[in-house]
Amino acid sequence: MLTCEDTTSDNYLYVGHQLGELIKVNIKDLIQACKLIDENLPTYEERRRIIIYGIKYTRGVIMMTNKNHFPKSPALVKVTNMYIQQQKIIFRGTQYCVMGKYSNLAAFEIFLTTNESFFSLYDISYIFPLHEHSMGSKKYVSFFVMY
């Protein structure tokens, strides 16, 4: 696992960041889809996990990509890929459609779309990963722990 003290990581991390297994990727395919990636810098894909100040990000977690803290309707993305470009962490994922808010569950009903999204961890306001929960045939995401 790489940490900020590793000299072989080419300054890919801030203090408190940890990476697992980095694989260099061909960014030609990503440049058209993502304006966050600089084509002049090497880009690596993290296959397992990124830990930032004890918060673990993996494939499959859900992130709220809104820039404000308390949106009426959150923009949610299920992470499919995680890219590192110098000290920038870029997530790629599939967007969710928010179907409704359920106050009694403290949750939003969600539906996975086919729309793809890219976002930087440093551009969003809510940095904690969320998880999908199922009740019957419906899927939900909650900002609170559901048992």
Q: Is residue 10 part of a domain?
A: yes
Give the domain extent around 137.
2-142
- CATH at 105: 2.30.30
- What is residue 4's predicted lDDT score, i.e. its pLDDT? 39
Number of domains in the chain: 1
Q: Is residue 111 part of a domain?
A: yes
Q: Is residue 16 part of a domain?
A: yes
Q: Is residue 75 part of a domain?
A: yes
Counting residues of the chain whose pLDDT is more than 70, the rounded percentage is: 78
Q: Is the pLDDT of residue 12 over 70?
A: no
Q: Is residue 94 part of a domain?
A: yes
pLDDT in tens, 27-70: 666 665 677 888 888 888 888 889 888 899 999 999 999 888 77
pLDDT in tens, 76-85: 999 999 988 8
Q: Is residue 147 part of a domain?
A: no
Average pLDDT, the chain: 81
146 pLDDT tier (thresholds 50, 70, 90): very low
| Contacting residues for 96 by C-beta, under 8 A, at least 6 apart | 62, 76, 77, 78, 110, 111, 112, 113, 141
Q: Is residue 86 part of a domain?
A: yes
Q: Is residue 88 part of a domain?
A: yes
Model pTM?
0.80
